[in-house]
Structure formats: C-alpha cells, structure tokens
A and B are shown apart, each in its own frame.
Chain A
Amino acid sequence: MTAILEVEALTKTFGGVVANDRISLEVPEGTIVGLIGPNGSGKTTLFNAITGAHPIDAGRVRFQGREISTLLTQAIARRGLIRTFQQPRVYRRMTAADNMLLSTNVRKLGLASLFAAAGTKERERALELLDFVGLADKRDTRAGDLSFGQQKLLELAMALMNDPEMLLLDEPTAGINPTLIDRLVDRLKTVNRERGLTLLIIEHNMPVIMGLAAHIYCLAHGRLLAEGPPQAVRSDARVIDAYLGAA
C-alpha cells in the first residue's frame, strides 16, 4: 500500500511552545488512521500545518508523492486534501443547501462553472449527502442557526460534497448526540469502503476511534508518543500515563 500522506519530522513552534516536535507519520491510501492525544497535545496544530493554515518551522509534508508543505491552503485543498474544523466552520448566513451547493468539487470545474447555477445533478447530490448526515429537513435553515452538532454534520457533508482524495476530520463526533454517533461511524466506514476515501481522524472518543481506525498515532506534549494497531496503542503504558497524567 502506498502512502497518500507522508509527514516527515514536522516541527511547529508558537513562541516558546513547541506544538509539534519532529512528528512523522504516514497514512496509506484508502485506510482510516486515527490521531489521538490529550488536550493541547498538538493534534489540531498538525492538521493546520498539513493543510497550510500556518507555515511550518521544519519538516516535510508529501501528498500523493508531491511536496505540499510550501503550498497555500487553497492550493492544497485543490489537490483534494480537505479538512474539517474542531469548531465547525460553515457559511453561517447561507442555508444548509447553499452551503452544500458551493462545496462542489472546484478542482474539476473551471472559473466558467462559477457563472452557472447549480445543476439538478448537484442539487440531488447535495440533498443526498444532507440526508446521509441526517440534515435533509434542515436544508432551508441558515447554517448559523443550526446546533453545534448539526454544524459539525453539515461541515462533514460539505467536505464529502467536495469529492476529496483524502479527508482530515477534527473530532467529528464532538457535540454529536450519542445516539447518532454509531450512525456517523457507520457512515464514515461506508465512504471509506465504497469510495476508497482515505481518512485521518482526530478523536477523543476512544471506543469510536478504536472501532474506526486500522492504525493509530498518539501525541503528547507535541511529540509522537506511540503508534500501532488500536489494541496495542490502547494498552500501551505510555499512552495510558499520558491520558491519566493529563486528567
């Protein structure tokens, strides 16, 4: 299996804080990989670094074999590497449906496509995906009026609408009704299986990530603490220490 994403000795500091300290990881194409770690361990910072939200101090990031660590956010997104945010970000004053319609794959569409209304196919797909995350009846609601959890689901649907090569999800189950979490996990497995979509998921909910990921990386204090299959990481003494120490 070839790696779709390779991070090599990535370092990011904020003033004196080393938020990411020489982190290396690999995500094989078509898999689901987990990223865990206590609060403040640098998980979101790593996502920001990978997606070009902020420049990195050292290291490399390769996506589909090509260096992307010097590219801007937009260029990285256009290569098909899309992320969602821990604090959901949606277009607040636009309806859920319009949020979806604007999230179509812009890589495959030129500037000219901007000057056309969304086609029936796109509308159908937008509704399909809204339905997929259980938001079909909210399609005409302004995104800003949705609950935190609903915004997270909408953001996920938007990311899927973009038809990405790989998705980085920052705590997709945070704020989601517990009864919905199982369904969400199911859906993520489905897109991974049926569309071969590669997922890198930050998750605090241990049962969720254990059930989803084939391989897990654990960060603590900005460093890579442990990695391996879910069972091995869960029983790793250092991981248990890190979580208990942080609690």
Chain B
Amino acid sequence: MPHAKIFGSSRSLLVAGLIGLGLLAPLVAPGHQSQLTELLLFIVFALAWDLVGGQMGYNSFGNVLFVGVGMYASAIVQVGLFYDVGRYTEAKGGGTQFLFDVPQFLTGLGFGILVAAIMAGLVALLLGSLVLRMRGHYFAICTLGLGIAAGQVAAGIPWIGGGSGMLTPNPPAALGDVGLLLYYLALLLALATFATFTWLLSTRFGLALNAIRDDEDKADAMGLATHGIKVTAWVIAACFLGAAGAIYGNLVRFIDPTQTAFAGATIGVWMILMALLGGSGTLLGPVVGAVVFQLFKELFWTYLLGWQRVALGVLIVAVAVFFPDGIVGFARTRFGRGQRSEEDTAAALKEKAP
C-alpha cells in the first residue's frame, strides 16, 4: 500500500502515539468528552463508507441505513433482555418501572452492540445481493432511497416507538460516568475498524476491491467472483456501522427515526464528506477527514450558530475545489514519495536531456 511506504517505519510510532492520545484525550479534555466520542464514531462511519465507496468504487448514499439498524437493534436488545419492548416505548422509556441495574445495563450494552453489528450485516447481505447488481448512479440513487425508506418504515412501527422515537436505557447512577465508558467503547471500535481494514486491504480481497473499482468487467472476465466480493465488502462495512450506531444511540440517548437513526441529511452525508475531505480510497484519509470535519463542525456550531449549515456548505465546496483528492491525496502528491505520472514523465525527460 502506497501510504505504508510514505510513513515507513515511523508508522508504528505514529499509531502508538495516536492510541496514547486516544486513551488520554477524555481525561485531558473532559469538557469535550461527548464530542470526542462522536469523533471516534465518525471515524468508523467514514472508514466503513470508504471501504465500499473509495476502495471498491461503489458510492453508497444509504450507509446511514446500517447505523440506524444498529441503533434500534441495540436499544431493542438492551431493553428487551429485561422488559417488554412495546410497554417500554409506550411509557416513553421513562418512569420508575423501567430501571436497569449495573449488570443489566452492561449486559444489555454488550449484547446490544454485538446484535447491532450482526443485524446490520444481515440487512446488508439481503439488500446488497440486490442493489449491488446495479452500478454507478443507479446504485447511488437506489441506496439513497433505501436510507430514506428505512426512516419511514421505522417511524411506522409502534413497537419501537414509531414516529416519536425510542430512548436507550437510563444508565444506573451506580455506574458513574457512563460517558467515559462509551468513549472507550468507541475508541475500541475505531481501533478495531482501522486494524481490520488495514489487514483486509493487505490481502487479495483488498486488491479485488480496487480491481472492481478500476474495471469490474475485466475482473469478471478474469473469473473473480465479483458479486460475492462486493456483497462481502458491504456486509463487513455494515457490521462496523451497526456497532457504531449502537454506541451512537447510547450517546445521544434519544433515537428519532428520521433525525437520529436514519439521518440521511446529516450523518448520511457527513460520512461521505469526511471520506472525501480526508482522501477517499486511502486508509488514513477517512480518519483525517473525520478529525478535520468534527473540528470544523464544532467550531461552526459554537461560533456561527444559525449559520452553521451555510458554513458547512462552504466547507464542502471549498474541499471539492481545492482538495479534489482529499487532504491525504493532496499531501501525497505534494510531499509524498508516492509518484504521480506527471512527475515520472518529468523525471524521465530530465534523464534523457543532455
């Protein structure tokens, strides 16, 4: 992988540094804990989007679907293990009848995240087998529709609170700072995602994703099981998105079907933006993109309140115009050793010149 070459041996040092930073960050900046947790989840969103969008060239506008499925699946498991879900949502999750003690809450959360990943994966398997037969714009539009439809479907199911949404279990006071727990869970998930994807992209599977991006018909003509590979990639991405959705649901507590769970206009678009901002088709790009994006988003929401969405729009345009290859792509052409064709030709011409 080209980026591995750029960072060479200093890479493990960098990774170690980042992990250290991740472990200490909430202690250093306790006031920004939930934003930091959100950032870690955004990293997972962006990485998972880019596995299929950047590496495989299938631009999905509906990945928020898996976030939402994970969010609901986890909440349902967390509640359902101990109470009747229908009665819980009817009572808006409140009251004194639906209390969770520490073991209950932790068991629920653990199983919730697991089931969220599995459910999102299953949904991806089912839908992927169908929509991944489409290509290009057809695929993009179809996934967009799926994301929107999912929100409407969820809003129509009273059992999970319908349009008025669902609350995740109230964390027991005895647990102490549940925010810190969620932060470290998000950190673990982000690291697991990064490690898994790093490994995946070092295998023949990673090459196959790139080949599908470059010329799917050629891959077919070489006998690669392209459809199976595409579905597998989407399922893997969906599992991580589902797990991240589970944690995200517990972070925001209130799951609104269209505003939180299947929030196509915010999270759904942001995850694509983060990947493109950082540099799609690279491993580091989505991570960098998520950090920069979260930074700008928080600044805009703090200092430009009322105009934050306009500012975000300007950011999007600025990125598209000035960094078409993303920050990592830009850095690589500018400073990296990863050669570009123009430079090659230039160098070759110089050599030939007397």
Contacts and interface: CB of A to CB of B under 8 A. Distances in A.
Interface of A: 51, 53, 72-74, 77-78, 82-83, 85, 89-94, 98, 101-104, 106-107, 111, 113-118, 141-142, 144-145, 158, 162
A115 B203 contact: yes
15 contacts: A73-B220, A82-B221, A91-B214, A91-B215, A93-B213, A94-B207, A94-B214, A101-B207, A102-B211, A103-B222, A106-B225, A107-B223, A111-B228, A114-B204, A117-B204
Contacts of A141: 344
B207 A102 contact: yes
A17 B222 CA distance: 29
B246 to A, nearest CB: 25
A98 B210 contact: yes
B224 interface: yes
Given A74-B226, A92-B214, A115 B220 contact: no
B298 interface: no
Contacts, number: 90
Interface residues of B, number: 27
Given A113-B204, A115-B205, A117-B202, A77 B220 contact: yes
3 nearest A-B pairs in the assembled complex, by CB-CB distance: A77-B223, A91-B214, A102-B207
A137 to B, nearest CB: 12
A175 B292 CA distance: 47
Nearest to A158: B222
Given A106-B225, A114-B229, A162-B223, A91 B203 contact: no
B333 to A, nearest CB: 13
Interface in B197-244: 200, 202-205, 207-208, 210-211, 213-215, 217-226, 228-229
Contacts of A107: 223
Interface string B137-157: 000000000000000000000
Contacts of B220: 72-74, 77
